[in-house]
Amino acid sequence: MKRYLFFAYSLAIILMTGGSLIFAQENADKLRLPTGTMMLKAPAHSQTKMSPVVFPHSTHFQFSCTICHHEWDKVSPVEGCASSGCHEKLWASPPGTTPLRDKKVKSLTGAYHQACRECHRDLFKESQGNSKAMSRITAPVACEECHPASQAAVEDSLDSLDIPLGTITLAAPEGAESRRSPVEFPHGKHFDYACQTCHHDWDGESPVENCTTSGCHDQLEPDEKTRNIHDERNSLYFLAAYHKGCIQCHLSLRDQRRSLEKSGDINESELPGYGPLACIECHADS
Ligand code: HEC
Ligand code: HEC
Ligand code: HEC
Ligand code: HEC
Ligand code: HEC
Ligand code: HEC
């Protein structure tokens, strides 16, 4: 179901953002990603009735970052939800008090309740009829599950990871015969996808391992009997892993785009973008 959810959301996001994603500059900038648990509180000056909310950030990395950080350009630092110009107000203003020309921005409470609760509710809805799945879901929906009467004082965890935002150069691992030029991979441009789409064994908290780390895709040669990248025997062959991972997704997006184009139901600007498919587009000068 998680997989299904991810695909549903990523498709929605691709359809929403179309090809108009803001492109990262060529830089080696890093983002400090908090991986622990945070306490979500109303801004300091506001009067509150409810206890602060414990939010395990990394439990949510199976979703795209931009599902929550919906204004993030994947280049700049990530802004807090209550930053100036965003969900600054704790409560919605009374109707008729916001000048029409002002952009309508949801209140902080409204934004959090919508984002957090609706997704959790959807999880329950989907699991209905499957009592096993229902009993496994821990995502809170009731008021007191998020705002318990007495909240044990949870300290914000300071755990974090540095993640590269710009372009990563992917080369063949040491010891492998290299016939093609290394690939310039725009990492940040792929953050509309959940991190685990690619880092499939990552737990959301530990350091991220390289793809060709020992024990992972560290095989330098194809299997003796077959070069087929889809053959199970080549699953640890680095070339097979990269080509399957990168090219398959670009290809399926291209196919989706083509069938949407054929159906004519959707504007040109809303069609999903896709990445390179030709050898020369990834391996530039060979
Ligand atoms: C389910 C929603 C959700 C998802 C998914 C999510 N975040 Fe967050 N993130 C939050 C919330 C809520 C905060 C706290 C914001 C605040 O304090 O105003 C936060 C805080 C942060 C911060 C600290 C911002 C600051 O104020 O200093 C960073 C950086 C960040 N997230 C990056 C990411 C990245 C990168 C991803 C994708 C791997 C991601 N987040 C996925 C909800 C989410
Ligand atoms: C896009 C969907 C989505 C959004 C948005 C979302 N969550 Fe979740 N949340 C999940 C999923 C999935 C789980 C894990 C459910 C499971 O497998 O049991 C979860 C689990 C949790 C848990 C329980 C974690 C545990 O260790 O049992 C808490 C607490 C939580 N979410 C709080 C929040 C808060 C607060 C927000 C808003 C800032 C939020 N969530 C936004 C999908 C979401
Ligand atoms: C999935 C988690 C979640 C659930 C469920 C939830 N809330 Fe919230 N609520 C939040 C978050 C996050 C905030 C913003 C941070 C804060 O103010 O603590 C918030 C803010 C509030 C606030 C404004 C701040 C304050 O303390 O006065 C009120 C009031 C509130 N919630 C009431 C409720 C009520 C009533 C319910 C049940 C109908 C409910 N919430 C269910 C997550 C949740
Ligand atoms: C979407 C990008 C992409 C496309 C398209 C692509 N490759 Fe690759 N290829 C990679 C990545 C990433 C690697 C692993 C890193 C490296 O070796 O540079 C790789 C590795 C290789 C390697 C092994 C390493 C080396 O340098 O010799 C060969 C050979 C190769 N590709 C040939 C091709 C050929 C031939 C095509 C066209 C049929 C092609 N690639 C299309 C991304 C791509
Ligand atoms: C489309 C695939 C893809 C997505 C999505 C993706 N990454 Fe990566 N990431 C890679 C590749 C490929 C590398 C280079 C790995 C290597 O050098 O072997 C990398 C490298 C990294 C590194 C550096 C690892 C090192 O060697 O130090 C970190 C950290 C990282 N990614 C975190 C993330 C996080 C967090 C997310 C989610 C916001 C994410 N990645 C999303 C493909 C992806
Ligand atoms: C889950 C899907 C997915 C995976 C996996 C994926 N890509 Fe992409 N890639 C995309 C999409 C979507 C775009 C178009 C992004 C855009 O238009 O901003 C893209 C764009 C690109 C671009 C072109 C960016 C530009 O400047 O126009 C390159 C290069 C690229 N990908 C390389 C790779 C490599 C190398 C890998 C494997 C390590 C990879 N991609 C894995 C979806 C994916």
Final residue of a structural domain among 97, 114, 146: 146
pLDDT of residue 90: 82
Do residues 102 and 72 both lie within one domain?
yes
Q: Which residue has the tokens 């799945």?
A: 133
Do residues 8 and 112 both lie within one domain?
yes
Residue 65, by phi and psi: left (phi above 0), alpha (psi -120 to 50) or beta? Answer: alpha
Is 80 exceeded by the pLDDT of residue 17?
Answer: no
Do residues 59 and 175 both lie within one domain?
no
Would residue 153 count as lying in a domain? no
CA of 81 to the centre of ligand 1 (A): 9
Cβ–ligand 1 contact at 54 (below 6 Å): no
pLDDT of residue 186: 95
pLDDT of residue 128: 82
Do residues 48 and 9 both lie within one domain?
yes
CA of 238 to the centre of ligand 4 (A): 10
Average pLDDT for residues 162-190, to the nearest whole number? 93
Do residues 80 and 120 both lie within one domain?
yes
pLDDT of residue 92: 77
Final residue of a structural domain among 95, 117, 146: 146
Is 70 exceeded by the pLDDT of residue 31?
Answer: yes
Is 60 exceeded by the pLDDT of residue 4?
Answer: no
Mutate to test the pocket of ligand 4, among 167, 244, 281, 282 (most ligand atoms within 8 A of CB): 282
DSSP label at residue 84:
T
Task: Identify the three-state secondary structure at position 249.
Answer: helix
Q: Hey, what are 99's tokens?
A: 């000048």
Count of domains in the chain?
A: 2
Cβ–ligand 2 contact at 14 (below 6 Å): no
Would residue 81 count as lying in a domain? yes
172/188 Cα distance (integer angstroms): 21
Question: Which tens digit of pLDDT belongs to each residue from 97-137?
Answer: 666 666 677 889 999 999 999 999 999 888 887 777 777 77
Do residues 32 and 110 both lie within one domain?
yes
What is each CA distance from 9 to 2, 3, 16, 193, in whole angstroms? 10, 10, 10, 9
Do residues 91 and 188 both lie within one domain?
no
Would residue 94 count as lying in a domain? yes
Would residue 157 count as lying in a domain? no
Is 70 exceeded by the pLDDT of residue 26?
Answer: no
User: Which residues constitute the domain of residue 61?
Assistant: 2-146
Would residue 162 count as lying in a domain? no
pLDDT of residue 91: 80
pLDDT of residue 182: 96
Would residue 154 count as lying in a domain? no
Cβ–ligand 4 contact at 277 (below 6 Å): yes
Do residues 78 and 173 both lie within one domain?
no
Task: Identify the three-state secondary structure at position 219.
Answer: strand
Mutate to test the pocket of ligand 2, among 9, 114, 119 (most ligand atoms within 8 A of CB): 119
Would residue 245 count as lying in a domain? yes
Do residues 23 and 114 both lie within one domain?
yes
Percent of the chain with pLDDT over 70: 85
Is 60 exceeded by the pLDDT of residue 24?
Answer: no
Do residues 43 and 81 both lie within one domain?
yes
Question: Which tens digit of pLDDT belongs to each residue from 219-267?
Answer: 999 999 999 999 999 999 999 999 999 999 999 999 999 999 888 888 8
Average pLDDT for residues 1-25, to the nearest whole number? 40
Do residues 59 and 190 both lie within one domain?
no
Would residue 161 count as lying in a domain? no
**CA nearest ligand 3 atom 35, residue:** 143
- pTM score, whole prediction: 0.87
Q: What is the CATH number of the domain that holds 55?
A: 3.90.10.10
Is 80 exceeded by the pLDDT of residue 8?
Answer: no
Closest CA to 271 of 285, 249, 255: 255
Is 90 exceeded by the pLDDT of residue 149?
Answer: no
pLDDT of residue 10: 46
Average pLDDT for residues 137-161, to the nearest whole number? 84
Do residues 17 and 123 both lie within one domain?
yes
Average pLDDT for residues 189-217, to the nearest whole number? 94
Is 60 exceeded by the pLDDT of residue 15?
Answer: no
Final residue of a structural domain among 146, 178, 201: 146
Task: Identify the three-state secondary structure at position 40.
Answer: strand
